[in-house]
Amino acid sequence: MSAGHSEKPVASPCIDICQLDERQVCIGCGRSLREITDWSRASTARRLEICAAAVLRLRQAPGRPLQ
pLDDT tens digits along 37-62: 999 999 999 999 999 999 999 998 77
In a domain, 50, yes or no: yes
In a domain, 1, yes or no: no
Number of domains in the chain: 1
Specify the pTM: 0.79
Which conformational region is residue 33 in: left (phi greater than 0), alpha (psi within -120 to 50 degrees), or beta? Answer: alpha
* Residue span of the structural domain in which 16 resides: 12-62
In a domain, 38, yes or no: yes
In a domain, 4, yes or no: no
Which position has the higher pLDDT, 13 or 2? 13
Show Cβ contacts of residue 35 under 8 Å, excluding neighbours closer than 6 positions: 50, 53, 54
In a domain, 2, yes or no: no
